[in-house]
């Protein structure tokens, strides 16, 4: 049970200051556009928070590009919109935190081979819901999601979109419950990212073979038997290695119910 409200609230309240700047080669006005500063929730996704910024910059670009899709990069690295913002920051600037986070806005030369297209927020919603379902399959064999009604799904999504903690967690806590006689999930939905951006996803059980709770340390030893002093970061914090996996999954998962951990 995800009942440690303090941790949840701290995680939820995490926000990042971001400074958007339009790419130099796309400015079509004499006057330089002002940089656009905004605070964004760490748990949100870029397409949900960039509407105002986009309107601001549309005035400064050539008219023929105004309908084309917008994309962002950090130091020449295109940002994948389908990852939570906080996770992207951890992955790209975790070792060298610089705030506010300077991002460049592009309207042309969409990197087709790196990014997925995102025409509107329905695409984000579809991606989010499918990830939640995947996590639920791992945790409860999909039983919780399939018993939820459509309005529950909607509430989950609207809670995230509108940054409403209570609305979101009223539904999400059902996903965080463990079912059956044994405490804990079937498997932990977890994605591990190395600092070059490659993602690996493994089947990880919350318990050891002898039935005791598995800690982060034990999992790392299982997954990286030849590496030592591996540290894992999520939500901008380095996780103590004796943290139990079950608790970690219940409290430190992103809204898509996955643990996104950066390995370094």
The token pair at 242 is: 């004796």
The burial class, CB within 10 Å (0-12 / 13-18 / 19+), for 263 is: middle
Q: Could you tell me the smallest distance in angstroms from the CB atom of residue 169 to another protein? A: 16
Q: Out of 49, 243, 263, 264, point to the residue binding another protein (CB under 8 A).
A: 243
- Look at residue 232 and give its three-state secondary structure: strand
> For tokens 């941790």, what's the residue?
7
Cα Rg of the chain, angstroms: 20
Using rule CB under 8 A, residue 21 touches another protein: no
Using rule CB under 8 A, residue 182 touches another protein: no
Scanning 73-81, 107-115, 136-144, 240-248 for contacts with another protein by CB under 8 A, the matching segment is 240-248
Smaller CB separation from another protein, 99 or 126: 99
Measured distance CA(2)–CA(8) in Å, rounded: 8
- Look at residue 252 and give its three-state secondary structure: helix
- Look at residue 13 and give its three-state secondary structure: helix
Smaller CB separation from another protein, 85 or 160: 85
Using rule CB under 8 A, residue 99 touches another protein: yes
Using rule CB under 8 A, residue 231 touches another protein: no
Q: What residues line the site for another protein (CB under 8 A)?
A: 3-4, 6-7, 10-11, 13-17, 34, 36-39, 99-100, 235-240, 242-243, 247, 252
């Amino acid at each position: 049970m995800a009942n440690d409200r303090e941790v949840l609230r701290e995680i939820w309240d995490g926000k990042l200051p971001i400074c958007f700047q339009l790419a130099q080669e796309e400015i079509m006005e004499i006057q330089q556009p002002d940089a656009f500063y905004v605070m964004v929730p760490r748990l949100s996704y870029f397409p949900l928070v960039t509407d105002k910024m986009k309107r601001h910059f549309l005035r400064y670009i050539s008219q023929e590009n105004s309908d084309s899709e917008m994309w962002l990069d950090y130091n020449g690295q295109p940002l994948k919109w389908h990852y939570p913002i906080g996770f992207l920051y951890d992955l790209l600037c975790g070792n060298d935190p610089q705030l506010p986070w300077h991002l460049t806005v592009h309207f042309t030369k969409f990197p087709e081979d790196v990014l997925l297209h995102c025409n509107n927020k329905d695409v984000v919603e579809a991606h989010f819901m499918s990830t939640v379902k995947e996590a639920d399959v791992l945790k409860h064999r999909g039983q919780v999601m399939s018993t939820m009604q459509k309005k529950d799904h909607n509430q989950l999504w609207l809670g995230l979109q509108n940054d409403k903690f209570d609305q979101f967690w009223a539904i999400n806590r059902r996903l965080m419950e463990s079912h059956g006689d044994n405490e804990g999930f079937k498997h932990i939905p977890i994605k591990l990212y190395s600092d070059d951006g490659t993602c690996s996803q493994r089947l990880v059980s919350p318990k050891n073979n002898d039935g005791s709770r598995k800690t982060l340390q034990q999992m790392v030893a299982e997954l990286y038997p030849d590496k030592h002093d591996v540290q894992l970061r999520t939500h901008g914090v380095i996780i103590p290695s004796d943290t139990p996996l079950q608790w970690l999954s219940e409290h430190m998962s992103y809204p898509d119910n996955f643990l996104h951990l950066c390995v370094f």
